[in-house]
Structure 1
Amino acid sequence: MIKKTFLILFAILISSSSLFAQTEQQIKDKLKSQGITSSSQIKAELQRRNMTENDARKLAEKYGISYDQFIASYIVGGTDLNTPPKKTTTIKPIIPPPPPNPPKKTVKKAITKTVKKSGGLTYFGYNLFKNIPQSFKPTEIGPIDPGYIIGPGDVLQLYIWGAVELQYQLTVDIQGNIFIPTAGQFFVSGIAYKDLQKKLINYLSKFYQGLKTNPPKVFLDITLAKLRPIRIFVLGEVAQPGGYNISSYATVFNALYSVGGPLTSGSLREIRVIRNNKVITKVDLYDYLLKGKLIGDVRLQNNDMIFIPPRGKTVTIKGEVLRPAIYELKGNENLQK
C-alpha cells in the first residue's frame, strides 16, 4: 500500500512542472521525514492544517493543478499556501494551415446548366429559370380565397363600429385561438374564411347586443391582415427536391422559380399539381413561353405537391427557322401538330 502510494505520487511529480520534479528516493525520504506512510496519514496532516480533503481539492482546482500535486507540494513539500505554483510555458510548433480547397461548384448550378447537343442547339425553355424576375415573386397582398381555412399563424384584423368602436389585430395562437381583449378567447382554427364573420357575430353578440338588433346598431368586419406561410413539396426532376415554406399567395410558377425550375432531364410540359392524392391540374410551360398564357397556374395550398416527371420524347429543329432548338413533345403530338 505504501509502495503504491509512493509510485502514484512519483508519477504525478514527474509529469508536473519543474517545481515537482524529484526522484523516487527523494519523495520517499521526504514522506518519511514528515512521518507520512499512508493515505490516512495524509488526511490526518490535512486535519492538522484545519483542512478537509474537499478544501484541498478546491485549492488544487484554484491553482490549476491536480489534488495529488497539491498534496505533494503544499502538504509534503511545505510550500506556502499563499504561493501559487509556477507555470511552465510549452512552446508549440507552428504548423502552417493547409492550403484552402478550391471552391466547389454547387450541385444546383452543375445540374441545371443548360445541356447543349450537336450543332450547339439547346433544350427549349429551360433558360426561363436562370433569373427570377420580381413579377414572379408572390405578392404580400391579394384576394383571399373564401374557402381559405384559418389556422395558427394567421393574423386577423377585427373592426367593430357603430354604437361601439373597437379595432384589434389578433394572431391565431398554436392552439387555434384568438384573444379578444373585451370578450376573451375564441377558437377559429379550421373555420373557412367565408364563415368566420358570421361565427364572430354570433359569439360577440353576447357582449355587444347591437350586433343582432333590427336594424343593427353595432357592425363588425373581419379581414386577414397576414396569412401564415404554407408548406409544399416539390419532387421529381429538380435540383433539390423536398419541402419548402412559401407564401400563402404563391402559385405553381412562384414555386417553380423558388426551386430553380426543372432540370433539363425534367418535363416542361407535364408538371402536375397533386392535392389530397389527386392531380388537380397540369401545367404546360410551352403555353406560357409560346403563347403568353398561364394555364393551370393555381394558387397552392398547404401540403400540395408539385411533381415534375422525366422529359418526354424530343425533336430537334434546326436550319432556317425562327427558334432552332430541341423541343419536347407531348404524347399525342407529332410534326403535323
Structure 2
Amino acid sequence: MSLVFRSISASLLSLSTLCLAQQSMTKPALVAKPGSRSATDSSEAPTVSLKAPVPAGYLIGPDDVLGITVWKEPSLSGNVPVRPDGMISISLIGDVPAAGLTPMALGADLADRLKKFINDPNVTITVATVNSKHIYLLGEVQHVGSIPLTPGLTPLQAISASGGLTPFANTKHLYILRGEQGKQEKIPFNYKKALKDGDQQGLTLSPGDTIVVP
C-alpha cells in the first residue's frame, strides 16, 4: 500500500512540474513601451552648446567662420572661412575682403556686388565661429596657452576652459594684463571670491588679454 501511495505522489509531482514549465514557455515577454528606456539602455540625450551672438561692432578677422545667407539663393548660402589674408571666396563674385569689417558692413558689400547677377539681393552675415580673437593664460593653470575669445567670455569661464587651477594657485591674487593704447593695465581678479559670490566685477575679457595665476 505504501509503495502504491509513493508511486501516485511521484506521478502527481511530475505532472505539476510539466504544467509549470508549459506556463513559463507561453508567458508573453515584456515589451518596452515606445519612448521608455530599458535598464540596459545607457544612452543619453546629446548636449547642446549655445554660443552667444557677437556684438554689433564685432570686426571679422582671419580664421573666423562666417554664415552667409542670400535670400532665395541656397547655392550662394553657407558657411565660409575667412582666409589668413582676410579674404573670402563667393560664387559669382570671387574673392572679397572680409577682415576688418563688421558682419553688417560685409553683408551690404556682398549685396552690392551681387546686384550684377541677382535682382535686389538680400544678404545676411553671421559669425558662426570666432577663431581670430584669443586670450592667454599663464602660471598655475592646468593648460597654459591661448584659447579662442568668444563674446562675453569671463575670467571664470576662461580658467574653466583651460582645465582649472592647479593645487598651488594663489586663488585670491590673480590678475589680467591688458594692453590699451600702447600701455599695459594690470586688473586684479579674486578667483576665490568670484567662485563663491559670483563675478561681481562684471569683468569680460578683451582680445589679447593675459590671465596670470601666481
TM range (shorter): 0.5 to 0.7
Counterpart in 1 of 2:123? 220
Within the candidate set 185, 192, 195, 1:279 is matched to: 185
Matched, 1:244 2:146: yes
| CA gap 1:264/1:194 in 2 versus in 1, 3 angstroms | farther
For 1:185, which of 87, 95, 102 is the aligned residue? 95
Paired residue for 1:197? Answer: 107
User: How many aligned positions are there?
Assistant: 161
Which residue is equivalent to 1:63? none
Runs of 5+ in structure 1 lacking a partner?
1-138, 211-217, 311-337
Q: Is the CA contact (8 Å cut-off) linking 1:269 and 1:285 kept in structure 2?
A: yes
Runs (5+) with no aligned partner, structure 2: 1-48
TM (norm. structure 1) is 0.40
TM-score by length of 2: 0.59
Match of 1:167 among 70, 74, 77: 77
- Cα–Cα, structure 1 residues 170 and 283, in superposed 2: closer, same or farther, change >3 Å? same
Q: Which amino acid in structure 2 is aligned with residue 246 of structure 1?
A: P
3-state SS of the aligned residue for 2:77? strand
Aligned match of 1:255: 158
Largest Rg, 1 or 2: 1
Q: CA, structure 1 residues 260+286, in 2 after alignment: closer, same or farther (shift >3 Å)? A: closer
Aligned-pair RMSD on alpha carbons? 3.1
- Matched-pair contact (CA < 8 Å) for 1:158–1:169: yes
Q: 1:260 to 1:187 in 2, by over 3 A?
A: same
Q: In structure 1, how many angstroms separate the alpha carbons of the residues matched to 2:149 and 2:176?
A: 20
The within-5 A match list for 1:34-73 is none
Please state which structure has a larger fraction of its residues in strand: 2
The CA distance in 2 between the partners of 1:279 and 1:242, in whole Å, is 21
- Find the aligned partners of 2:95 and 2:60 in 1 and give their Cα distance: 15
Give the share of equivalent positions with the same residue, in percent: 24
Give the structure, 1 or 2, with the largest relative contact order (CA under 8 Å, sep 6 or more): 2
Q: Displacement of 1:271 after TM fit? A: 2.4
* More helix as a share of residues: 1
Contact 2:131 2:148 survives alignment (8 Å): no
